A = this chain, B = another copy of it.
């Protein structure tokens, strides 16, 4: 048996299983936000490992895209959730950025408008679902409706309480219609968030990302963790599993989510579509032009 090489995934094939949240109650304080499960190596090695996924990832992405163009109905939906500064944007930039943008559909959800609210919390989510062959990525999602909505009492408890079941029904429908749903909680510590917000304040090119409201939200950190624990327990289904990605180390976070996407594509195993024309006939017709 080969000795594990430094800087490589311990068992990349099983990373999804390794990071998947076990069923039952969730205690986020038991997770080490600085851990690097499935990867032994340094930060630099992690960055190299991420870049090295690019070619394979693009190839599988194109296969999924190709089968979607030829009538297959499968797609992937990657849901990214996490506290401010956890790195949802960073994962998209550095991980999804390795893929062909033509096969991606990225949606960033802000606070819903009045018109969106009137249509129910899942309406705008459904508008943003990926078409067949496309990898959809949600930067925040319908989970905000059981996170900030619960913590900041934007709706009454019976309303948010009912949403967990509505989400499970919705995600089961998605799975049944060919969407592979992956939900990643980018888990950072309160201390790490503080350091990242300080870094934003220290860098004028980052000021646009800073919002004074972020500091106010920090006072509700324990309530947010409780809300995340509830979502990770109550909406952790076989069709749409939750994963916890330790995210204090940005390089690990980027590598892990990207490796999970690659693993998922390989499991779907899309094949190059067969020709729906006669190749020899076409060669002759083309030669005659």
Contact = CB atoms under 8 A, between A and B. Distances in A.
Interface stretch (A5-13, A42-50, A140-148, A199-207): A199-207
A273 to B, nearest CB: 4
A285 B215 contact: yes
A212 B208 CA distance: 50
A70 B100 CA distance: 28
Contact of A210 (B93, B100, B198, B282): B282
* Interface of A, helix, strand, loop or mixed by DSSP: helix
A267 interface: no
A279 interface: yes
Interface in A241-289: 272-275, 277, 279, 282-283, 285-286, 289
A200 to B, nearest CB: 9
A277 B101 contact: no
A109 to B, nearest CB: 13
B218 A289 contact: yes
A279 B197 CA distance: 11
B92 A282 contact: no
Given A101-B106, A289-B215, A289-B218, A272 B204 contact: yes
A85 to B, nearest CB: 12
A127 interface: no
A70 B272 CA distance: 44
Contact of A93 (B102, B273, B283, B289): B102
A108 B97 contact: no
A188 interface: no
Interface of A: 66-67, 69-70, 89, 92-93, 96-97, 99-102, 104, 106, 108, 139, 194, 197-198, 201, 204-205, 207-210, 212, 215, 218-219, 272-275, 277, 279, 282-283, 285-286, 289
Given A207-B275, A212-B277, 17 more contacts: A69-B208, A92-B100, A93-B100, A101-B104, A194-B286, A194-B289, A201-B282, A201-B283, A208-B272, A208-B273, A212-B282, A215-B282, A215-B285, A215-B286, A215-B289, A218-B289, A219-B289
